[in-house]
Amino acid sequence: MNVLFAAFEAAPFAKSGGLGDVVGSLPAALNAMGHDCRVIMPKHGDRGGSPLTSFRVRLGWRDQYCGIEKAQADGVTYYFIDNEYYYKRGGIYGYDDDTERSAFFSKAVSESIDRLEDYRPDIIHCNDWHAALIPLFLKDRAKTVMTIHNLRFQGACPQWVTGDMLGLENDEEACAALRWHDGVNFLKAGIICADRVTTVSPSYAEEICTEEYGEGLDPILRMRRDALCGILNGIDSEKWLPCATKSELRSELGLEQNESAPLFAMVSRLTEQKGVELVLACADRLIGAGAQLAVLGTGRADYEAELKKLAERQPGKISACIRFDEELSHRMFSGADFVLVPSVFEPCGLTQMMAMHCGSVPIVRRTGGLKDSVIDGSNGIVFDNADADGLWWALRKALEIYDTDKYAEIRENALKSDFSWGRSAGEYIKLYESIS
């Protein structure tokens, strides 16, 4: 089948997190199974390909240039939506006009599918709210799948967007799909209009149908429950192989070479969702118990400041690297004894999979994809309560088993865990076949 993935980011061209990893690796896995899966994304900055064609896109009252460029990477064809006004910027997200940038992307993709030379997609696979208007624009014209990578981000905006930006004020069906309270919601429209809706783990698919995890959209998701399923993400297993020893990592991070001290690592966006407050609350107790802690990531300014203070107060025992550094994350997964993923909620999580594949034991909370990929006492340590006591219970358990046969057994099981894309890709093929 021909499947066109539409996403705002995809490695190796643009990546800010798990979405970029998934869209940068799943199409290749599907192609290895005999399909022709390609990716269409914005041309962020100067990274694009060879010009293919250009045309004008109407966005409300705006008449905008749209170029399409084409490139190859890892056996996958990439198409780039070129518009310097929207996308030639220093980053991917975080701009005041992100709503308009996303609306343009969805409209441009919907008008590009007839302009991709001899490639005609059977299915458009849309990812997150930035691409959620594609099922609306292509309603009854193409088969679509809408994947929710994180329900918290929905593209909610004022009511005037319907007419001023989208030009849909006279389309009653579109207005109904977009309407959300006193405004509009891009992701809601995608959920309503797509042929199938997926999330990135089976447990998250169940969780988001509840009020606790539904982020306000649970009534809509329950309404579409028959069209909703969860498929666990995978990782590029050739990329995430052990690449550093604990001694080398300690030297790089300025930590003491103390063989009796277990090394705990956290590689994460520093946000409330990721459980950073739990780690901050437990850090001194953990060091007091004879361990070391290394943290890599960026996010909330107060979290960054607290981590820097901890590292200054505990030199040689705590390292805080406040930056995005994928190569260092690889070395941390390889050199640490334990990797912390204490998320309050987690749609899937790739960190625990990468850590296990590199030889670290994950410590995770029982939620979403963490619940689906880590089994307590088998290939990791799992705790229930999203509070400091819950995390400390898991940390204490880790300290007790460190340097024992039980730790060696869990680590070996973690290394043997298979999170390659083969199984998940097969599930996507079945999903595509059900609607093609």
159 pLDDT higher than 90: yes
The whole-chain average pLDDT of the chain stands at 96
Give the SS3 label for residue 41.
strand
Q: Given this model, what pLDDT does residue 64 score?
A: 97
For the segment 99-106, the average pLDDT, to the nearest whole number, is 98
pLDDT in the model for residue 423: 87
pLDDT at 165 over 90: yes
Is residue 240 pLDDT above 90, yes or no? no
Give me the pLDDT at residue 50, please: 96
Strands 183-185 and 292-296, how do they pair?
A: unpaired
Torsion, Cα 358 364 366 370, to 10 degrees, reads -30
Is residue 57 within 8 Å of residue 104, measured between CB atoms?
A: yes
Domains recognised in the chain with CATH numbers: 2-234+421-435 (3.40.50.2000), 246-416 (3.40.50.2000)
Chain CA centroid to CA 235, Å: 11
d(CA 240, CA 333): 9
Mean predicted confidence (pLDDT) in 79-84? 98
Give the CA count within 13 Å in the CB-facing half-sphere of 42. 27
pLDDT value of residue 130: 97
Assign residue 104 a region: left if phi > 0, alpha if psi is -120 to 50, beta otherwise? alpha
Helix-then-strand count for the chain, H and E: 19, 18
CB burial class (10 A; 0-12, 13-18, 19+) of residue 323?
exposed
Q: 332 in helix, strand or coil?
A: helix
- Token pair in block for residue 403: 């340097």
CA distances from 60 to 13, 179, 282 (A): 29, 17, 51
Which has the closest alpha carbon to 233: 135, 329, 351? 351
- Secondary structure letter of residue 59 according to DSSP: E
- pLDDT reading at 14 higher than 90: yes
pLDDT 10s digits, 176-193: 999 999 999 999 999 999
Entry pTM: 0.94
Q: Which whole number is the average pLDDT over 62-75?
A: 96
Rg (CA), the chain: 22
pLDDT given for residue 229 in this prediction: 97
Position 72 confidence tier, pLDDT thresholds 50, 70, 90: very high
The 3-state secondary structure of 180-221, one letter per residue: ECCEEEHHHHHHHHCCEEEECCHHHHHHCCCCCCCCCCHHHH
Cβ atoms < 10 Å from Cβ of 367: 25
